[in-house]
Amino acid sequence: MSSLRTLAESLGLSVTTVSRALDGYPDVSRKTRERVTAAAEAAGYRPNAAARRLRRGSAEIVTLVLPTAQGRFNEPLYIELMRAMGEPFAKAGYDLTLMASPPGEDELRTYRRLVEGRRTDGLIVVRTRPQDPRIEYLLGTDFPFVVMGRTSAQPGIFPFVDGDGEQGFADATAHLIGLGHKRIAHVASPANLNYALFRRAGYERAMTAAGLTPRVVETEPDEDGGFEAGRFLLPTADHPTAVLCGTDRIAMGVMRAVRAAGLNVPHDVSVIGHDNLPASTYSDPPLTTMELPITETGARLAEMLLARIEGASPEGMQEVRPLRFIQRGSTAPPKL
């Protein structure tokens, strides 16, 4: 395998020029960078990663800190998000890492350690809250970060991509009403998660507009939470004929509760989720759901974070995108 000095000698260039060309510095002409890159590939040269990080003053790492309960790590949505972001980060020379931390002071300490210790070059924030101390802290540091989601009232401009949960859940509720449902319940994620507020607002708006009475049960955004909410909603004769769920994981639990009550999805109870997790395609019946397409979202968040690392302004990096509705077998008109 060739060394940097041997590569430079073969090209008739200085070691400094070859090093800066391989690191993509703009003071080296494009023609020279292409020539050096082609020669390095042909010679099988691989730069010393530790030396390159030292030269750049960069960790060559970007990090997603996932807020999760101690001893529990089962978040398929964010695994899919990391898959979508991994390729663009890798092409730019960055490793994408995942850290788990319980919400609260421990989580904020994790952010401070990463930022103040320069252990990463950028952060991806998820599961935003109405007033989010993580974002408040990061806005005060001028450290590169992007957000999947948004807050309800956060001072400052920061890059984010979010789905229009309010309109998406209003449309899903209207879809159920159009099928003939009148007793439609919403099993919501906890109100300390900002997305839950938008989704609940959309559901309540559509119900009120149709002259129907909203019924909301709040639970943890997972299968256990959905199952417990379903067991609470279903025992009575006037149980909901449709349940709009804050997440697919909640919806999976609700469908299990429907079956446990001796009822059928969708003939007795229609169920809709959100996230379009891979498992939703293979549930029984397949789950009607909504999504902010995760591949496009991850690619855009990666693009924004790389731009911020390079010094771009966050102006214009705020995107609220429509949700995609996916009709499957878990919804049908109610029994007459």
Q: How many Cβ atoms sit within 10 Å of the Cβ of residue 214?
A: 15
Q: Number of structural domains, the chain?
A: 3
Which residues lie closer than 8 Å to 35 by C-beta, 6 or more apart? 11, 21
Q: Supply the CATH number for residue 229's domain.
A: 3.40.50.2300
Q: Locate 129 and state its tokens.
A: 């809250």
Q: Supply the CATH number for residue 16's domain.
A: 1.10.260.40
Q: Residue 144: helix, strand or coil by DSSP?
A: coil
Per-residue pLDDT of the chain (336 residues; tens, 9 = 90+): 467 778 878 888 887 787 777 776 677 888 888 888 888 888 777 665 545 544 455 668 999 999 876 545 567 888 899 999 999 999 888 999 999 888 888 899 999 999 999 999 999 999 999 999 999 999 999 899 999 999 986 667 899 999 999 999 999 999 999 999 999 999 999 999 999 999 999 999 999 999 999 999 999 999 999 999 999 999 888 899 999 999 999 999 999 999 999 999 999 999 999 999 999 999 999 999 999 999 999 999 999 999 999 899 999 999 999 999 999 999 999 987
- Say whether both 285 and 178 belong to one domain: yes
- Say whether both 154 and 71 belong to one domain: yes
Q: Are 207 and 213 in contact (CB under 8 A)?
A: yes
For residue 131, the 8-state DSSP code is S
- Say whether both 169 and 288 belong to one domain: yes
The boundaries of the domain holding residue 8 are 4-56
Phi (first) and psi of residue 8, to 5 degrees? -65, -45
CA–CA distance, 251 with 84 (Å, rounded to integer): 24
* pLDDT at residue 31, rounded to an integer: 86
* pLDDT at residue 154, rounded to an integer: 63
- The verdict on residue 336 lying in a domain is no
- Residues of the chain by 3-state class (helix, strand, coil), percent to 5: 45, 15, 40
- Say whether both 153 and 185 belong to one domain: no
- The verdict on residue 329 lying in a domain is no
Which residue among 25, 41, 56 closes a domain?
56
| DSSP strand pairing (289-291 vs 324-326) | antiparallel
- Say whether both 75 and 101 belong to one domain: yes
- The verdict on residue 304 lying in a domain is yes
* pLDDT at residue 1, rounded to an integer: 46
- The verdict on residue 318 lying in a domain is yes
- Say whether both 155 and 179 belong to one domain: no
- Say whether both 232 and 200 belong to one domain: yes
Nearest by Cα to 289 from 251, 320, 263: 251
Q: Locate 109 and state its tokens.
A: 């300490």
- The verdict on residue 25 lying in a domain is yes
31 burial class (0-12, 13-18, 19+ CB within 10 angstroms)?
Answer: exposed
- Say whether both 179 and 65 belong to one domain: no
- Say whether both 249 and 271 belong to one domain: yes
**This prediction's pTM:** 0.81
- Say whether both 153 and 298 belong to one domain: yes
Q: Residue 21: helix, strand or coil by DSSP?
A: helix
- The verdict on residue 331 lying in a domain is no
- Say whether both 172 and 267 belong to one domain: yes
- Say whether both 169 and 265 belong to one domain: yes
- The verdict on residue 334 lying in a domain is no
Strands annotated E in 149-241: 160-163, 184-188, 215-218
Torsional class of 133: left (φ above 0), alpha (ψ -120 to 50), beta (otherwise): alpha
CA–CA distance, 121 with 216 (Å, rounded to integer): 41
| DSSP strand pairing (160-163 vs 145-148) | parallel
